[in-house]
Amino acid sequence: MTTPLHRGLRHLALRVIDLPRSRRFYEELLGFQSVWEPDPANVYFSSGNDNLALHQISKSELGSYDPSNTQLLDHLGVILESPQAVDQMYQSIAPKIEAMGGRITKEPKQHRDGSYSFYFSDPDGNLIQALYEPAISRLKFSATP
């Protein structure tokens, strides 16, 4: 087993059909708390240990949405401890990723909320974000049996 370059799978982004309905579900039923709302089509939550993003499906896509053949997972994210760790991971995987069937989809970038990340896809096209997120990247995680 190789040593992971990240701190765990603690970020998930979902595309949703009705953002207010989904927001109420995650807040009231599961106790997630909003940590950032960059615009009316996006909300970011935390439970204290992780980060969940809800992204409203655009009106242009919503009309043709078919739940039988459309995936609502926007992307999954692995957490890294610093922006430098994001850059190190990028430099480590970028030369190898195409040979393994994936590809880099977005170069490292600073985001408006203070996070820093890059995106890549797996061989099946699933999008993965390598993410430094200030609120959860500094938390201490430990393996428990």
Q: Which of 77, 75, 76, 82 is nearest to 134 (CA)?
A: 82
**Which H/E stretch holds residue 128?**
strand 127-132
The answer on pLDDT for 107 being more than 90 is: yes
pTM for this one?
Answer: 0.75
- How buried is residue 58: exposed, middle or buried, by Cβ count under 10 Å (0-12/13-18/19+)? exposed
Write out the residue range of the structural domain in which residue 87 sits. Answer: 11-137
pLDDT single digits (tens) 7-66: 888 889 998 889 999 999 889 877 889 999 999 999 999 888 888 999 999 999 888 877
CATH number at residue 111: 3.10.180.10
* Overall number of domains in the chain: 1
Is residue 79 one of the residues assigned to a domain?
Answer: yes
* C-alpha Rg value of the chain to the nearest Å: 16
82 found inside a domain: yes
Asked if the structure places residue 102 within a domain, the reply is yes
